[in-house]
Structure 1
């Protein structure tokens, strides 16, 4: 069932605004999920010692590299998807 069929009591402008709001909220949720995944992955990979007030030099370097690689790969994927969309 489409979103429009679920909101018959709203006029077209209101439905459009609600659909845009829902798309924005879904994008925010995806971003939060990515950040959670990034945090979990990099933490598990890089934090080897006990919890203290500071990361060791190797932990800090590992975290920085992990985040950089995660962002690089995410940007690469987004660019590939955009490229594919443009080709269609």
Structure 2
């Protein structure tokens, strides 16, 4: 029986764990962003079938995009902080 995740002495366990943790965090962020997009869609567009956007709908979408950007920037900064902390711990 082979255990691919358990290679002793090479550091690949830590690398694999770090990679999996990062991927897990990315998946969580994507799920949150998807949920955020659904909320904005339902808030701004749902129930308003039209070929053109009225001013209120356009303003709503603009605000949603602004919040989306704010959220993305916040998440990016948080990831950078996490990576900086990890790299600081690794060098000790």
Q: TM-score range by the shorter chain?
A: 0.5 to 0.7
Q: What does residue 23 of structure 2 align with?
A: 25
Deviation at 1:65, TM superposition (A): 1.7
Distance 2:12 2:56 in 1: 53
Q: Structure 1 length normalisation: TM-score?
A: 0.58
SS in 1 for 2:49: coil
SS in 1 for 2:39: helix
The answer to whether the 8 A contact 1:38-1:67 is kept is no
The answer to whether the 8 A contact 1:46-1:59 is kept is yes
Between the two proteins, the alignment pairs up a number of residues equal to 71
Distance 1:46 1:59 in 2: 6
SS in 1 for 2:26: helix
Aligned positions of 1:28-47 closer than 5 A: 28-47=26-45
SS in 2 for 1:24: helix
Aligned in 2, Cα 1:70/1:23: closer, same or farther, shift over 3 Å? same
Distance 1:29 1:70 in 2: 17
Q: What does residue 65 of structure 1 align with?
A: 63
Structure 2 runs not aligned, ≥5 long: 82-92
Structure 1 runs not aligned, ≥5 long: 1-6, 83-88
